[in-house]
Every structure is written in C-alpha cells, then in structure tokens.
Structure 1
Amino acid sequence: MNLSVYTKEFGANLRLAYPVILGMIGHNLMGLVDNIMVGRIGATELAAVSLGNSFVFIAIAIGIGFSTAITPMVAQSNAAKDEVNVRATFHHGLLLCTVLGLCLFGVVSFAKPLMGLMHQPKEVIDLASPYIDLVAFSLVPMVIFQGYKQFADGMSLTKYAMHAVIVSNIVHIGFNYALINGIWIFPKMGIIGAAIGTILSRILMVVHIHISLSRNAQVKKYFSNFSFSEIKSSVLKKILALGLPSSMQMLFEVALFDAAIWLSGSINETSQAANQIALSLASLTFMFAMGLSVTAMVRVGNQKGLRDYRQLRIVARSIFLLAIAIEIVFALVFVVFNNILPHLFLNMGDTAQLASNVEVIKIASMLLIVAAVFQLVDGIQVVVLGSLRGLQDVKIPTVITFIAYWVIGFPISFYLGLHTELKAVGIWIGLLAGLTAAAIFLYIRFNYLTNKLIKNQDEEDRLALANA
C-alpha cells in the first residue's frame, strides 16, 4: 500500500487535532508561565514550583487519564447514532470526574510530608509547601473541565475546550503578573500568587466550557433534565473499567518524569532547575502529539462504531506518520537552539544569581539534546496509546507502560543519574529508554489487535456470502 493512502488522511487528522493541540498547549502554558515568571525571581523559587507541581502533575495525570475513557465511548456511540449511550456516558463521566477531582485534592494536600523523605533541599521545601496547599485545590475544576472536554472531543467538537483554555490563559497571565510582582491593588505574593492565578483560571475554564456547550445546537439536549435517579451502576462500572487503567497509564509516565525531578533535586538545586527547564520545553512540544492522540481516540472510536477495521488501521497509521513528521521538526529545533532556549526561564541580569544561572543553562542545554532524540519515540508511544484507547483496549497497554517506564526506564535513570558522572543527562537517558520501550511494545499490541479484527471481519463477510 503506497504512502498516499495514509497522507490523504492528514487533512482530516489536522482539522480535528489542531483545536485539541492548541487547548493542550494552553494547559501546558499555565505551568510554563508559572515557571518563566517565577524563574525570574530566582532559581530556588523555580525549583520550589517545580517540586510543588510534580505532586500536582501526578494528580492531573490521573484525572486526565481517567477522563479519556469518556472520549472513545462517546465517539463510538455517536458514530452509531446512539443518543441514549452518549447522554449516559456524559452524565456518568462528569459525575465521576467531579468525585475524582475532590479525592485528588485531598490526597495531594496530605502528601506534602513526602517532600522531606525525598531528600529535597530544605529551602525548596519551605517554599513549595504553601504553594501546594493552594494549587492542589485547582485540581477540582481541572478534572471537572476534563469531563466536559472529553465529551466534546468524542462528539468531534474540539474547538470548545480550545476556546476555554485560551480565555483562561489570558486571565492566568494577568493574575500571575499582578500577584507575583505586586501590581496596582494586588499585593506582592511571589509563588503564592502563581498558585492563586492557577486556581482562578481553572475555575473560569469550567464555567466557559459549560456555558458554550450548553448553547450548542448539537449537544444542548444532553445538558437538560439531569437527575441522580438516572445514574446506573452498570454505566459507572463501564467507565471505571476503561478509566482506571487509562489513569494508571498516564500516572506511570508522568510519575517517571516527576521521578526525574526528584532525582535531579537529589543531585543539587541547579540540576533540578535545569531539569524543569528542559521538561517544560519538552512538555510543550509533547502537546502536539497529545492532540494527535486524542484525534486517534476519536477517529479510531468512530471507525470501531462503524465496524470498518481496515479503514480504522489506515486512519491510525496516518496519525502515527503525522506525529513522527511533527516531532522531527521539534527535535531539530531543540538541537539548533539548545543553548538559547534556557535563557527564557532565567534572569541573567541578576548578578547575585549569575553563577548559578550559568550552570543551570549549561545543564539544560545538554538535556535538550537528549530531549530532541526522545521527541520521536514519545510522540509515537502516545498516539499509539490513543489508538488503543479508541479500541477500548486498556488493560494490556497498562502493563506495557508500567514495564517500560518503571522496570526499564527508572532503574536506568536512577543508576546513570546518581552513580555516574552523567548526572542529570543520565536521568534523561533513562527517560529515553523507557519511552522507546513503550513505543515499540504498544505498536506491536496495536498491530496484533487490528490484524485480529480484520481477520475476524473477513471471516464474517465470507460466512455471510456463503449463506446468501
């Protein structure tokens, strides 16, 4: 089969993906803006926000991963024109996301003592602790927003979440600038101001997407007459059966990157700050692959609902190729500008911090070279994982991601980072190893399942012709 069979799908993929990508970038920009604004205060403050967000990001990963169960279920039901199942999935999914958001808020709030057990610098812990107290609350509106977003994505209405995130980012930047630095009537609050800005912007996201979707002609019928009497344990169990393994997949990956933050902190403060710079930039470009992963969930889910498995595989592979092409571009950017990009995060005019900042930039520039390489495998593994979620295959991929990240990746990061001269670079080599293993084994799983589905479909067609 020639390449044009796949490339002709690029247009449809991008039309669905670009609002998701912009929305994902907007989500990531909240953390990036915090890092840039706080980084200009000092490297210690940047390390504190990095450490605090490492707890929150784990919880966000669980929330996002769980909510992804909603998208393929809605996409499949929508393709089959089953409005009853669309409504049930939306209402049950939103309820579960609300409960999960509250639970995650509580867990993160009580997890702060773990910072002391991780041998992090005391001055960093002292700053990070009150930051976590506040920013943890933003998990509640964040996960509720994901419930709305995944429903809208499943209905192929990907622009609504993008609009909500854009508006919230504008508010976030404004409040951050005012509250961190003390502008006009606002007090100077440093990193606490960044946390408050995050809370306000995420509440606005929920309000915006609810109002926007409830006014949409296609889906406003799903916003009326909600009643707890409609809640059924069978639907809750189905969403939980898909959502919990999906949340574990996200947890395993994000926890690996958080472990890189903690390992870097065990080396020294400059390594931790450098790690956060490289991770912020890599996370930003990763949002393009995440957007394509959602596209894979929606389009694969649609084809599953239509029972067209040959087209399903063509669509999925076209998304894989598109992700590879995009990640190659970002890899080149990281290689060419590896010495320039870290300057965005630090105030080089601060003579008191000059020596420390120079060391941070030196380490971060080396980490970006490694990040350039794993852009490719990171992009591949996440879009293949999205396709598997579209097939509603989550249990085996959960095992695969655990083995790849924690049996292969983390031990390499631990040994090379703490027991060799590679230090922070060695930590990132371990990340690369884990992502590479995940990409390979997840694709093998996808190829096996689609071959099986096509074979079964061919057998059904043959029997139907024989009985005609």
Structure 2
Amino acid sequence: MNLKQYTKEFSYNLRLAYPVVLGMVGHNLIGMVDNIMVGRLGSTELAAVSLGNSMIFIAMSLGIGFSTAITPIVAEGDAEKNDTKIRSAFHHGLFLCTILGLVLFGVIVLAKPIMEMLHQPDEVIALAKPYLDWVAFSLIPLIMYQGYKQFADGLSLTKYSMYAMVMANVLHVGMNYVLIYGIWIFPKMGIIGAAIGTVISRIFLVMFMHIMLSRRNDLKHFFSNFSFEEIKKETIKKIVSIGFPSAMQMLFEVVLFTASIWLCGNIGRTSQAANQIALSLASMTFMFAMGLSVTSMIRVSNQRGLQDYKKLIVVARSIFLLAIIIESVFAIVFVAFHQFLPHIFLNMENTIQLTDNTEVIEIASKLLLIAAVFQISDGIQVVVLGALRGLQDVKIPMYITFVAYWVIGFPISYYLGEYTSMKAAGVWVGLLAGLTSAALFLYIRFNYLTKKLIKN
C-alpha cells in the first residue's frame, strides 16, 4: 500500500471536516467563554461553573452520542438515493432527540444532591446549584439541534451546523458579557448570567438550523407534512439499537473526564481549577479529531451503501492518518507553550488571588505536557470509532471503551491521584492510559471487520 493513495483523499476529507470542526469548536467555545468570563469573577465561581458543567457534560454526551445514530442511516440512504430512508431517519431521529432532551433536563435537575455526595466545597456547591438549573434547561434545544445537525451531516451538508454555531456564539458572547457583569440596563447576575446566556444562544441555535435547512429547495420535501402517524416502532428500534451503544461509548469517555474533575476537586481547589484549564485547551484541539470522526462516519457509511469495501478501507485509513498528523502538531504547540497557555484563563493582576493563581498555573502547565501526548491517542480512538459507527458496528466498541476507560484508565487515575505525590498529574496519566488502550483495541476491531467484509 503506497502513501499516495491515502494522501490524495486528504483534501476531500478536510473539505468535509472543517465545517464540522468549526461547529464543534463553537460548541466548545460556549463553555470556554463561560470559563474565561467567570474566571474573572474568582476561582470559587470558576470551580462552581466547572462542577455544574461536569454534570451537564454527562447528559450532553448521552444526547450527542445518541443522535449520531441518525448520520450513518442518512448517509447510507444518500448513497443509495433512497429519500424514504432519509426522511424516516430524520423524522424519527428528531422525535427521539426531543424526548431525550426533556428527559435529560429532568434527570439533571433531580440529580443535584449528588454534589454533596462528591464532597465538593460548600461555597462551590451553593453557587453551582442555581447555575445548573438554567444550563440543564438548555439541553432541550441543544439535543433537538443535534437531530438537525446529524441529518445534515449524513447528507454531507456539514456547513450548516457551522453557520448556526457561529451565529449562536456571537449571540452567546454578547449575552454573557451584559448578563455576567451587568452592562447598561441589565443587572449584574454573575454565573447565573452565564447560564441564561447559554439558554438563549441554544434556543437560537436550533431556530437558525431549522430555518436554513427547511428553506433549501432540495430538502423541502423532508420538512413537509410531518405527522406522528409516520412514527414507526421498527424505525425507532433501529435508531435506538445504534444510538444507545453510541451514547454509552461517549458516556464512558465523558464520565472518565468528569471523574478527573471530581478527583482533582478532592485534591484541592487549585488542582480543580488547573484541571479545568487543561481540559478546556485539550477539548478545543480534540474538536479537530471529532470533526474527522464525523467525516469518517459519513464516508464509511457512503462506501458501505455503495458496497465498495476496498475503497472504504482506503478512505478510513486516510482519515486516521490525517488525525495523527493534526494532533501531533497540537502536541508540539502544547509542549512549546505549556507555561504560557494557562495565563489566558486567570487574572494575574488580582493580588488577592495571586497565590492561588500561581499554584494553578504551575499545576496546569504540568498537565498540558501529559495532554500533549494523550490527544494523539484521543484523536485515533475517536476517528476509528467514527469509522465503526459508519459500519453500524456499535455494540463491541461499547464494551471496548468501557474496559479501556473504566477497567484500565480510571483505577490508574484514582490510585496515582489519591495515593501518590503525583496528585493531578497522576489523574491525567490514568486518562492517557485509558485513551491509548481504546485507540489500540478499536483499531484492531476495525481491521478485523474490514478484512471480513472483503473476504465475504
């Protein structure tokens, strides 16, 4: 196999991936903007947003993971030129995403007492609870938006989610600024202002997406005459059979990262803030791999629909290679700027917070060195997962990710964080071990399945 056959796929992969990447970065920016603006209020406020968002990320991972079931069915229908299959996947998917959004909102509101059980600082919990109520509500429009996004992605129309996300982000930054700090006629609301800003921007996000897609002439027939009579039990079963394991895969990873927030919270407030900074930066670079993962899912689904399995392998491997190259560049950036990057998040002119902030920067710069290595593993595992979803193989990868993150990764994080002098750095070594195991076993699975497809 020569390298050229993979590299010639790069330009199409990037064309498909870059709008998804920018949309994902936009998703992430909503949380990052909250962190930066709230960080100016103080480390207790930053820890409260971090704690609240840790619970939101768990719910969000279920919603986003579940919604990915729509894309491979739509992409396969697109390759087969089967409009009925596409319409059915879209309508059923959006219906299920709306129900899931409502359920997750209810679950998060009821789950607030968990904060006390996690032995988080009292002053952090007091601020986090009202913040959580509002941000939990924003899950309803967010997961409905995912239904639209995955439908558009399946048709290779990846730019629409990018446009919607850019518009929502501009609105979010403006709303946050006036509501957090109390500008003009608006009261100073602190972290509640950040939460309300998130709700408003996410409602507009789903509205932007609906308007843009429904106005396209070639898509109008997918939006007309929706009725509940069209909802069929067997289609719901098919989407759930792909969506549930996909949601679990994402949940296992997100809960592992959430556990790192809690473990660092147990170590101390400065470790928790440092962990939040390193996570924010690593999450931003991870979005590039996530964009390639969606590309992987779309292109593998298309080739599966066309039953061209040799081309499927070339396409998938070209995406894996691209992910390794991009994440390696970010690794170099993290190593080169590991002492400078944490300063973006903290106000070093605040003399009252100076001792805390200096300690936070010292810990965060160590974590970024570990993050430099682990994002390569993270990139590989997520693009291979995308390819496996494109093959509609979700059950075995669900078990693989569970073992990698919870049988290998978490025990290492827990032991090194709680019982050695490595503290927060030890927690991150565990994350690295889990992600590397997942990348290795998922690739073995992909290799096995594609060889089997060609043989048959």
Provide TM-score, normalisation by structure 1: 0.97
- Whole-Å Cα distance in 1 between the matches of residues 7 and 136 of structure 2? 43
Q: Secondary structure at the match of 2:111?
A: coil
Q: Secondary structure at the match of 1:150?
A: helix
Q: Secondary structure at the match of 2:226?
A: coil
Q: What does residue 380 of structure 1 align with?
A: 380
- Whole-Å Cα distance in 1 between the matches of residues 384 and 216 of structure 2? 31
Q: Secondary structure at the match of 2:112?
A: coil
- Whole-Å Cα distance in 2 between the matches of residues 186 and 342 of structure 1? 31
Letter in 1 for 2:427: I
Correspondences of 1:410-425 after superposition (within 5 Å): 410-425=410-425
Provide the identity percentage.
Answer: 70
- Whole-Å Cα distance in 2 between the matches of residues 200 and 281 of structure 1? 25
Q: What does residue 263 of structure 2 align with?
A: 263
How many angstroms does 1:385 deviate by? 0.2
Q: What does residue 464 of structure 1 align with?
A: none
List gaps (5 residues or longer) in structure 1.
457-468
Provide TM-score, normalisation by structure 2: 1.00
Correspondences of 1:63-462 after superposition (within 5 Å): 63-456=63-456
- Whole-Å Cα distance in 2 between the matches of residues 407 and 121 of structure 1? 29
Q: What does residue 24 of structure 1 align with?
A: 24
Q: Secondary structure at the match of 2:41?
A: coil
Q: Secondary structure at the match of 1:351?
A: coil
Q: Secondary structure at the match of 1:189?
A: coil
- Whole-Å Cα distance in 1 between the matches of residues 185 and 319 of structure 2? 49
- Whole-Å Cα distance in 1 between the matches of residues 55 and 248 of structure 2? 15
- Whole-Å Cα distance in 1 between the matches of residues 285 and 322 of structure 2? 14
- Whole-Å Cα distance in 2 between the matches of residues 129 and 365 of structure 1? 30
Letter in 1 for 2:9: E
Aligned length: 456
Q: Please tell me the root mean square deviation across aligned C-alpha atoms, in Å.
A: 0.4
- Whole-Å Cα distance in 1 between the matches of residues 294 and 217 of structure 2? 23
- Whole-Å Cα distance in 1 between the matches of residues 220 and 381 of structure 2? 35
How many angstroms does 1:364 deviate by? 0.3
Q: Which runs of 4+ in 1 moved over 4 A?
A: none
Q: Secondary structure at the match of 1:34?
A: helix
Letter in 2 for 1:187: P
Q: Secondary structure at the match of 1:379?
A: helix
- Whole-Å Cα distance in 2 between the matches of residues 129 and 265 of structure 1? 16
Q: What does residue 465 of structure 1 align with?
A: none
More deviation in 284-293 or 116-125?
116-125
- Whole-Å Cα distance in 1 between the matches of residues 311 and 409 of structure 2? 34
Q: Secondary structure at the match of 2:188?
A: coil
How many angstroms does 1:40 deviate by? 1.0
How many angstroms does 1:366 deviate by? 0.4
How many angstroms does 1:216 deviate by? 1.2
Letter in 2 for 1:91: H
- Whole-Å Cα distance in 1 between the matches of residues 230 and 202 of structure 2? 28
Deviations 1:199-253 (A, max 9, x none): 0000000000000000112212100011111110000000000000000000000
Q: Secondary structure at the match of 1:112?
A: coil
- Whole-Å Cα distance in 1 between the matches of residues 218 and 17 of structure 2? 20
Q: What does residue 4 of structure 2 align with?
A: 4
Letter in 2 for 1:433: A
Deviations 1:272-326 (A, max 9, x none): 0000000000000000000000000000000000000000010000000000000
Deviations 1:131-152 (A, max 9, x none): 1011100000000000000000
- Whole-Å Cα distance in 1 between the matches of residues 239 and 113 of structure 2? 33
Q: Secondary structure at the match of 2:138?
A: helix
- Whole-Å Cα distance in 1 between the matches of residues 268 and 14 of structure 2? 42
Deviations 1:111-156 (A, max 9, x none): 1100111111111111111110111000000000000000000000
Q: Secondary structure at the match of 2:441?
A: helix
